[in-house]
Structure 1
Amino acid sequence: MSQLPTVLDVGRVAGVSRQTVSNVLNSPQIVKPETRQKVEAAIAQLGYRPHASARRLRTQKSSTLGIRLDPMTNGISGSLLDRFLHALTEQADRRGLRVMLFTATGPEDEIRQFARLRDGADVDGFVLTATFVDDPRTEWLIENNVPFVTFGRPWGIDDMNDPRHLWVDVDGRSGVRDATDHLLDGGASHVAFLGWPTKFSTGDDRRRGWREAMEARSGLDAAQLDALQADSEDDVAAASQAIRSLIESGVRVDAVACASDSLALGALLVVGAEVSVVGYDNTPVAGAIGLSSVEQPLDEVAVGALDLLLGDGSHGIVGWESSSPERRHRLVTPRLVVRERSPIGRLA
């Protein structure tokens, strides 16, 4: 087996000293740009990777991010965060970082885990998911000056641009607006929206996208649009009941835009092939049954989260202190995946 390349090998190929290579790896800002480019080219050519353990000893940093492993859920869209974890771990590994998973029974328990992992120097920062209104986790991290980034906006509080709260999110309003436009383009005029109860801020954002498209193009008045909305927990059976109740109330429904694929499958079981349905999250189930769905680009979310946490990239995880004002949040655009749906039976 060939020996892994070393710092000395990089220096030999680049024509510089071992110390210069070390400076490029740890303090690139002090190295002349042309020298740094030669070293970086040699690193790429040799496939050199810094020894993580040695770097941790030298910098007194763990090079580790903590993220809560959410409880298992029954909803079809529950796989979304699993896919995000995979993307985050893959992108972190490319930057010489590790991801530590931990569990918690709720927000307060998660805060206790923050304190434990911080006090033990086990992690340098955190990635939070499933943000919600009045989220106490972000308040604690800000008060204790712990680097973090959230997958999700700071809902319900006036810190959308707070420099201490770094966040990445997917523009759900844009995604559902595109989905609704697609249904309107297909000839529907009475496009219903099947969403979550209004306590879910992410769901409210997606609902606004539907409303914007309908107000702009459907010709329906506010009362008619209000009547075209139904709410359900993220459960297939509950979604079926919600859309059935809406139809039985006498409201005309030509198509349905949904806040998740779980809701979309529930709607499909009621409306069958006669009514077009679009989901959200583009889960494997959507692909299997030919359901059109809005896809969240989770690789872009993971890259964005790490970009914000790493700042200029030269000193490991630094958080908001090194972030310029224009680099404190990132809103990622989703894309609509249009499919020809497979036949699916209607529930009696």
Structure 2
Amino acid sequence: MDRTPTVEDVALAAGVSRQTVSNVLNAPDVVKPATRERVARAIAELGYRPHAAARRLRTRRSSTIGIHLDPYAGGISGVVLDRFVHALTERSSERGMRMLVYAARSPEEELARLADLTEGGEVDAVVITGTFHGDPRTGWLAERGIPFVSFGRPWGADDVSAPAHLWVDVDGAAGTRAATRHAIASSGPRVGFLGWPVGSGTGDDRERGWREAGAGGPRLVTEESVAGARDAAGRAIVDGELDALVCASDSLAIGAHVAAVAAGRGDLPIIGFDNTPAAEALGLSSVEQLPEEVAGGALELLMGSSGTSIRPRAATPGEAHVLVEPRLVLR
């Protein structure tokens, strides 16, 4: 075909009406799955691309999803979120959507930015990250009926059976449980855990996996820093209390590794969480979060499995979340 394919071309190739093609593009849930697949094949074969500007005028939607960009803090802790934002941008583009990245230094400042973006019609939906107990953003968005999904669970009493909103997350407990069981089998029962102070939803979840694996080592505590991890792990390493150590992040694992080398125990098995390039360079095992799968789950919750417009699921038990199981990377 020498000219640009049209909706009519897609309809003819798929053997459906023009309205059916329009429904597949703008309201896929009203079309039977078999028909959706037939239209999707025709779109792919013809190379058809909807005219985004015309669609925005017709539907009065921006075809844009907003996402917060965390402030740059150096170190290695932002690698996973960077990969998540990149994957979300790439996959949303494949669905004819755009990502709008906005910055804010606090939840209060983020609410002000969200008010500007939503009241001005600049975004159709929002993806928030880094949820925490008492997060004001989720209630604010829900009260205003703004479609959103969070990377991070609501941290309520029962996020699965009584979800407060749509969410996607990595099963941190499954990751540390697998890491701990491997360490016990390969190194011995005294597997310690180096994590953050109690009260961090993510940190508490990762600690739970270590406890469920039945490890017999100490629980060590520090804030998120390489230097803090070095100091927190140093005494236990010197005193010979550990057969292995599972950590809540790669930053903590790297700090513990520095302490182990200084104590003459550079061969102490240490497993991190995030599988960053820094951990790989040091030869440390780690838990891979698979942020690309998290991005896919977020879009599925907001747009359906193959939709090209925002049609979020209802927050019903068992269907309002996607929990991605991480994988253990051994080195």
TM-score for both structures, normalised by structure 1: 0.86
Show the counterpart of 2:328. 336
**Which of 229, 240, 248 is matched with 2:219 structurally?**
229
In structure 1, stretches of 5+ residues that fail to align are 340-348
Q: Deviations over 1:148-194 (max 9, x none)?
A: 11111112556554455001111101100111111111132211111
Contact 1:74 1:235 in 2 (8 A): no
| C-alpha distance 147-29 of structure 1, shift in aligned 2 (>3 A) | closer
Contact 1:195 1:203 in 2 (8 A): yes
The yes-or-no answer on 1:78 pairing with 2:91 is: no
Within 5 Å, give how 1:1-348 maps onto structure 2.
Answer: 3-28=3-28, 36-156=36-156, 160-162=160-162, 164-213=164-213, 215=214, 218=215, 220=216, 225=217, 228-248=218-238, 250=239, 252-272=241-261, 273-311=266-304, 316-321=309-314, 325-339=317-331
Alpha-carbon shift at residue 296 of structure 1 (Å): 0.5
Alpha-carbon shift at residue 111 of structure 1 (Å): 0.9
- Aligned partner letter, 1:246: A
Give the length in aligned residue pairs: 327
SS at match of 2:55: helix
| C-alpha distance 108-36 of structure 1, shift in aligned 2 (>3 A) | closer
Contact 2:153 2:159 in 1 (8 A): no
Contact 1:153 1:160 in 2 (8 A): no
- Aligned partner letter, 2:241: R
- Aligned partner letter, 1:280: F
How many Å separate the matches in 2 of 1:29 and 1:198?
A: 43
Show the counterpart of 1:343. none
| C-alpha distance 42-173 of structure 1, shift in aligned 2 (>3 A) | same
SS at match of 2:275: coil
- Aligned partner letter, 1:331: L
TM-score for both structures, normalised by structure 2: 0.90
Contact 1:134 1:156 in 2 (8 A): no
| C-alpha distance 118-280 of structure 1, shift in aligned 2 (>3 A) | same
How many Å separate the matches in 1 of 2:133 and 2:99?
A: 26
| C-alpha distance 329-39 of structure 1, shift in aligned 2 (>3 A) | closer
SS at match of 2:187: coil
How many Å separate the matches in 2 of 1:236 and 1:163?
A: 35
Alpha-carbon shift at residue 240 of structure 1 (Å): 0.6
- Aligned partner letter, 1:26: N
Q: Percent identity?
A: 54
How many Å separate the matches in 1 of 2:231 and 2:275?
A: 22
How many Å separate the matches in 1 of 2:132 and 2:145?
A: 21
How many Å separate the matches in 1 of 2:83 and 2:35?
A: 39
How many Å separate the matches in 2 of 1:151 and 1:160?
A: 15
SS at match of 1:76: coil
In structure 2, stretches of 5+ residues that fail to align are none
Contact 1:308 1:320 in 2 (8 A): yes
How many Å separate the matches in 2 of 1:329 and 1:30?
A: 22
- Aligned partner letter, 2:244: A
Q: Deviations over 1:30-68 (max 9, x none)?
A: 656665554332112112221211111111111111111
SS at match of 1:265: helix
- Aligned partner letter, 1:274: D
| C-alpha distance 148-29 of structure 1, shift in aligned 2 (>3 A) | closer
How many Å separate the matches in 2 of 1:34 and 1:206?
A: 41
Contact 1:154 1:160 in 2 (8 A): no
